[in-house]
């Protein structure tokens, strides 16, 4: 035990004072929007660079905005593809929600194309990667609905990554008529059928946006543009655009199929994959849209914390993100932690802790315990549940008594519940803020 305590103290000493949840050291601001700011950050344990998207809860006044954030988390949880920005984890404090995302070093595709149009070959490469990501999303029942160069990032190897799923939809939102009806997107990239307000196919509108992006990459400007928004919408609705003289005949033909104002005859993802313009070039490889396409080489570094965080929170296969948004109780007298110790070992350590702290112990059904202090000044329940063959989740919560601070007991008990002192340090971040929640590994 002394060696473990010494290791833990050494780890704590290395954590910068400003580290977010004791785990991420925030760096420079990368960008900001109406509801969120994005920072570069470093994992203080691994040195890995990440992007941290910070959402201010106070700005999520409407239920629609809250639903969008919940849906974004749910969607990014299910997406694992080399051309999609990866979500590592989600954390929350009383006032903010933090998305811990893959850091894409090259920045926005928009920044690159704003400096000058691309060659047709380079545009094709990015478009192929875009279609790979979009087709994968559609195969998973996800429709982005806000594809534009600002939401496409480029890594240090020149590979495209789709980001920002805040306006995305899933098949569950499709209404009985088989269409989506929420009006959203960026004006210059919206499909004409969205303007009719009669409903639309999510896959079709994504394809239209892909066509606008392809045009921008090759031309360096938008196909539909006008200072007057209504005039621009009329051009979109009628499909009025002209191709510059440097566009090849095949590219013009292909864009005509993608920017078809009739969604019924607009080219589909599967048809794109067989188009001669799309398949030209040595970088093309046949694209399929399954999880095995994702290179899991970096994703296989599984540790004790590599469990579906959303199931840990909800204790079910469903998605319960209420803990991220509700902060009505300023004092959170419950904590959860994941451990690789066996259920028997955890229970034994809790019993040993109770004896040392002179707490009475009552065993409950299954792997539950209840510890009670003298005169009932503190009653703490402990539930141990097996989540996988190697991992358990331990929930500790106050069930009675008010005179003794709950976190005094929790801070003493927590190090005994894990096998690696780093876990105790990482999980302690959720205790440093009275209403914080830490979700591990999406």
Determine contact, residues 107/173, Cβ cutoff 8 Å. Answer: no
pLDDT of residue 84: 93
Distances (CA, A) of 208 to 182, 187, 189, 202, 239: 17, 12, 8, 10, 11
DSSP codes, 305-371: T-S-HHHHHHSSSS---HHHH----SS--EEEEEE-S-HHHHHHHHHHHHHHTT-EEEE-STTEEEE
**Contacting residues for 388 by C-beta, under 8 A, at least 6 apart:** 307
Determine contact, residues 12/3, Cβ cutoff 8 Å. Answer: no
pLDDT of residue 20: 82
pLDDT of residue 291: 52
Determine contact, residues 189/213, Cβ cutoff 8 Å. Answer: yes
Residue 139, judged by CB atoms within 10 A of its CB (0-12, 13-18, 19+), counts as middle
pLDDT digits (tens, 9 = 90+) for 55-99: 888 777 655 567 778 778 888 877 889 999 998 988 888 788 888
Helix (H, G, I), strand (E, B) or coil at 108: strand
**Contacting residues for 303 by C-beta, under 8 A, at least 6 apart:** none
Three-state SS for 198-211 is: CCECHHHHHHHHHH
pLDDT of residue 308: 39
Listed residue (157, 34, 47) closest to 104, CA to CA:
157
Active site residue 17: no
pLDDT digits (tens, 9 = 90+) for 171-190: 666 677 666 667 667 889 99
Helix (H, G, I), strand (E, B) or coil at 12: helix
pLDDT of residue 300: 34
244 is written with which tokens? 């510059």
User: Per DSSP, what are the bridge partners of residue 369?
Assistant: 363, 382
**Contacting residues for 348 by C-beta, under 8 A, at least 6 apart:** none
What does pTM read for this prediction?
0.66
Determine contact, residues 93/433, Cβ cutoff 8 Å. Answer: yes
| Residue carrying structure tokens 């990015």 | 126
pLDDT digits (tens, 9 = 90+) for 309-322: 433 333 322 334 44
pLDDT of residue 387: 57
| Residue carrying structure tokens 């534009």 | 148
pLDDT of residue 191: 92
Determine contact, residues 182/198, Cβ cutoff 8 Å. Answer: no
The CA angle 145-137-65, to the nearest 5 degrees, is: 45
pLDDT of residue 55: 86
Domains of the chain and any CATH numbers: 2-104 (3.30.200.20), 109-293 (1.10.510.10), 310-439 (3.30.310.80)
| Residue carrying structure tokens 């600002």 | 150
Please give the Cα distance from 372 to 261 (Å, whole number). Answer: 70
Determine contact, residues 320/383, Cβ cutoff 8 Å. Answer: no
Residue in 146, 201, 420, 441 annotated catalytic? 146
| Residue carrying structure tokens 């999303």 | 137
pLDDT digits (tens, 9 = 90+) for 253-301: 999 999 999 999 999 999 999 999 999 875 556 565 555 444 443 443 3
Listed residue (289, 308, 293) closest to 88, CA to CA:
308
**Contacting residues for 68 by C-beta, under 8 A, at least 6 apart:** 166, 167
Residues of the chain with confidence (pLDDT) below 50: 1, 8-13, 292-322, 326-331, 421-442
Helix (H, G, I), strand (E, B) or coil at 88: strand
The CA angle 309-311-313, to the nearest 5 degrees, is: 75
Helix (H, G, I), strand (E, B) or coil at 164: coil
């Amino acid at each position: 035990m002394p060696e473990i305590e010494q290791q833990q103290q050494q780890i704590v000493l290395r954590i910068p004072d400003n580290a977010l949840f004791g785990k991420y050291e925030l760096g420079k601001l990368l960008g900001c929007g109406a509801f969120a700011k994005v920072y570069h950050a470093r994992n203080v344990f691994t040195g890995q660079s990440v992007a941290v998207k910070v959402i201010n809860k106070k700005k999520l006044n409407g239920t629609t905005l809250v639903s969008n954030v919940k849906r974004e988390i749910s969607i990014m949880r299910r997406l694992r593809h080399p051309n999609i920005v990866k979500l590592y984890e989600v954390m929350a404090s009383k006032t903010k929600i933090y998305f811990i995302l893959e850091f894409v070093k090259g920045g926005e595709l928009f920044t690159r194309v704003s400096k000058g149009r691309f060659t047709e070959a380079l545009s094709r490469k990015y478009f192929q990667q875009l279609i790979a990501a979009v087709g994968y999303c559609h195969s998973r029942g996800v429709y982005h609905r806000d594809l534009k160069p600002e939401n496409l990032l480029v890594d240090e190897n020149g590979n495209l990554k789709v980001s920002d799923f805040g306006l995305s939809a899933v098949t569950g939102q499709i209404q009985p008529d088989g269409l989506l009806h929420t009006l959203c997107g960026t004006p210059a990239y919206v499909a004409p059928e969205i303007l009719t307000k009669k409903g639309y196919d999510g896959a079709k509108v994504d394809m239209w946006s892909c066509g606008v992006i392809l045009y921008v990459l090759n031309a360096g400007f938008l196909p539909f543009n006008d200072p007057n928004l209504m005039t621009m919408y009329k051009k979109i609705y009628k499909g009025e655009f002209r191709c510059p003289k440097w566009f090849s005949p095949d590219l013009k033909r292909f864009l005509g199929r993608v920017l078809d104002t009739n969604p019924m005859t607009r080219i589909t993802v599967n048809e794109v994959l067989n188009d001669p313009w799309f398949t030209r070039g040595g970088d093309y490889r046949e694209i399929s849209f399954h999880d095995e396409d994702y290179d899991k080489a970096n994703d296989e570094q599984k540790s004790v914390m590599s469990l579906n965080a959303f199931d840990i929170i909800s204790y079910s296969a469903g998605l319960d993100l209420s803990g991220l948004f509700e902060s009505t109780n300023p004092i959170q007298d419950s904590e959860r932690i994941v451990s690789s110790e066996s259920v028997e070992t955890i229970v034994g350590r809790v019993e040993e802790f109770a004896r040392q702290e002179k707490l009475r112990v009552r065993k409950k059904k299954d792997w539950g315990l209840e510890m009670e202090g003298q005169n009932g000044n503190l009653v703490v329940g402990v539930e141990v549940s097996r989540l996988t063959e190697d991992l358990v989740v331990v929930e500790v919560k106050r069930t009675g008594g008010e005179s003794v601070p709950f976190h005094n007991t929790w801070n003493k008990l927590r190090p005994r519940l894990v096998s690696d002192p780093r876990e105790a340090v990482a999980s302690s971040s959720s205790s440093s803020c009275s209403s914080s929640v830490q979700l591990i590994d999406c």
